[in-house]
Structure 1
């Protein structure tokens, strides 16, 4: 349900309650999604690896449910079920989330903002960062390190290189999950020299195919064999594996593409300098990635308009948050010289709402605040907030 009043605050939530009021003043009303959520969206979007961190149960119908591990997906589902679906709308939230974290409490408070439907993406991105900085300041934490990146840049680069679909899919997946790309590329290149095996005919039939064609072929083959899985792997998983092996058989990642990717991933520093390096890379490599660089430049201009000193923002082309559903701008705010875990983190996820059932793509951007982490290092005297 969408509420209008903040929940009663206790302990560290007293600061968060004041934070919610400031979010409301910025136009973000309070959302209060249920604590129990269907587990499928979390497993689908984050992979089965997240299962070991979830607190799971089933209802009387057999549907698998979980205690919400974060609030982005629940708020997005509430938005899609509301009369505002497809229209510009923004929500704030504050509540407990539940996730197994070794050596730390499994229940902890999370606050944040989600903004849906805005077409002015660079301006919306900049506003999220400005509000995230406001969140840390509400807890008396002003000296933060701002780390930013943009997965859309990497996606556009890979698209412009014209690689095999399986290369594209794997490289983007690895980037999103913060896997060492250069190491992975080397391993895949070596794998292209693997000896012949009993599936040579299938691999040859898949050479140059896309994922849809591979899935159709493997589905037909397994239907003929009268089975729907092998060794616990689904048809889709088997098709992906065959497609990957087929591509590797066709040849290694082109050397010039590897060189361009490595040069791209080395770009970091002050955003304006990074933009200059990106434009130089595009020119030298004759790659059509100008539109996404222009969007980055527009975002930086909007940040300046929000009073953010962009000279203090660190941008890196290799920065990622480790979640598949991000599609563009990503950021984290860390305590200066104490920044292993972020205090605030978020970004753009334009594809998420379609994966949750929307019939059309809906722009979306937001961030989450780790309330207790901020409260632990905050200075109540700096803001007059209750201690």
Structure 2
């Protein structure tokens, strides 16, 4: 028999408080950032799904604010404003976040951990996954599927290929926008030859040049032509878009690079299997991904040291969480058979604190738990009397 909603809510609150206590005992300090946050970081740094689901308002001074849609950026902002900024520090949290979700409540509870400043990246990554798995296990749920990937591997691949700078930026940006990446690669796979036009040579020169200089040239040409603002976009914005699109339309991605990228994105299996496939690809393609592969191998070792059965992890080179600020290891924990919404998700985001104003790069990794989603699974497990088999 399914528990009444009120009973589930009470049980959820008690279980979440216990979870928070376990994080504190593991050395993570409680963070309680403000609910109302500046909107700009979320608009600039989050994925499209979060940006389009924000609840926005404006204060009397004209500053655009939002209800926090997640807790990673607020916790990071508070850390940077504290005396601990730049030093290794770990924080845990529990509180409401606010996003428009079609057919679901817009206010929901998140718990989680954020770890800043640790230079032992592979060890920190493994610790996050271990703590996330412990949190789910403590809830009484064991039929968990672990999905993971590594944005840094794709970035290293693109950096190693001989591509125009515009293509490199475009493909790395599109990695977390799967539809855009598939569209770009699919269009180029179907194209028999680059498009030809009377100014093809100019476009090729722009695509292969320094981005700053190319943008300056296009901006000057538009200004000379009398353009100032089109469709609400500035000359600089239009020039940037033109430079990118002209390169894409010019077929600047070489066929051999397209084959390598396609082969890379098809790699999946356990972490060890994926590592072996990646090494074969680098040998056959004569690419140097030594540093990225070494970090993957080191992370696998730390996972094993934490008692994680890596044969139960599904690693995919195409896996991404759709958030623009992720830079490395990413993971999601799902209940077996639930292919859509994760119960827990997280990863590495080394560039975020610099984008938020840190003077020096600060490594960062963490994860969030969707309390209501996990509570529903706990209730289902209690009702059926079985937690299922461990992943």
Q: TM-score, normalised by structure 1?
A: 0.90
- The match for 2:81 is 81
What's the Cα RMSD here? 2.4
Between the aligned partners of 1:210 and 1:250, the Cα distance in structure 2 is 17
Asked if 1 retains the 8 angstrom alpha-carbon contact of 2:79 and 2:85, the reply is: yes
Q: Which runs of 5+ in 2 are unaligned?
A: 1-8, 386-391
Aligned-residue offset at 1:196: 3.7
1:57 match: secondary structure: strand
Aligned-residue offset at 1:101: 0.4
1:361 match: secondary structure: coil
Between the aligned partners of 1:371 and 1:377, the Cα distance in structure 2 is 10
- The match for 1:354 is 354
Aligned-residue offset at 1:169: 1.1
Q: Deviations 1:105-145 (Å, cap 9, x if unpaired)?
A: 00000000000000000000000000110111121111100
Larger displacement relative to structure 2 (30-39 or 224-233): 224-233
Aligned-residue offset at 1:339: 3.4
Between the aligned partners of 2:234 and 2:50, the Cα distance in structure 1 is 19
Asked if 1 retains the 8 angstrom alpha-carbon contact of 2:167 and 2:252, the reply is: no
1:220-299 equivalence runs, <5 A: 220-224=220-224, 228-248=228-248, 250-299=250-299
Asked if 2 retains the 8 angstrom alpha-carbon contact of 1:148 and 1:331, the reply is: yes
- The match for 1:324 is 324
Between the aligned partners of 2:282 and 2:112, the Cα distance in structure 1 is 36
Q: Deviations 1:290-315 (Å, cap 9, x if unpaired)?
A: 11101000000000010100010110
Pick closer, same or farther for the CA change 1:324–1:297 going to 2, 3 Å: same
Asked if 2 retains the 8 angstrom alpha-carbon contact of 1:209 and 1:243, the reply is: no
Q: Deviations 1:182-221 (Å, cap 9, x if unpaired)?
A: 5422325649744648x87974662412432233234434
Aligned-residue offset at 1:258: 1.1
Between the aligned partners of 1:226 and 1:39, the Cα distance in structure 2 is 34
1:95 match: secondary structure: strand
1:92-107 equivalence runs, <5 A: 92-107=92-107
Between the aligned partners of 1:351 and 1:43, the Cα distance in structure 2 is 16
Pick closer, same or farther for the CA change 1:225–1:253 going to 2, 3 Å: closer
Aligned-residue offset at 1:244: 2.2
Aligned-residue offset at 1:285: 0.9
Between the aligned partners of 2:205 and 2:175, the Cα distance in structure 1 is 29
Pick closer, same or farther for the CA change 1:57–1:181 going to 2, 3 Å: closer
Asked if 1 retains the 8 angstrom alpha-carbon contact of 2:227 and 2:235, the reply is: no
Larger displacement relative to structure 2 (207-216 or 96-105): 207-216
- The match for 1:184 is 184
Between the aligned partners of 1:207 and 1:372, the Cα distance in structure 2 is 48
- The match for 1:213 is 213
1:84-163 equivalence runs, <5 A: 84-163=84-163
Q: TM-score, normalised by structure 2?
A: 0.89
- The match for 1:368 is 368
Q: Deviations 1:15-48 (Å, cap 9, x if unpaired)?
A: 1110000000111111000000000000001367
Q: Deviations 1:225-278 (Å, cap 9, x if unpaired)?
A: 666532122344323322223324654421111111111111101111111111
- The match for 2:20 is 20
2:323 match: secondary structure: coil
Q: Deviations 1:323-352 (Å, cap 9, x if unpaired)?
A: 111110000000011232000000000000
Larger displacement relative to structure 2 (372-381 or 354-363): 372-381
- Is 1:33–2:19 an aligned residue pair? no
2:185 match: secondary structure: helix
- Is 1:65–2:65 an aligned residue pair? yes
Q: Which runs of 5+ in 1 are unaligned?
A: 1-8, 383-387
Pick closer, same or farther for the CA change 1:250–1:226 going to 2, 3 Å: closer
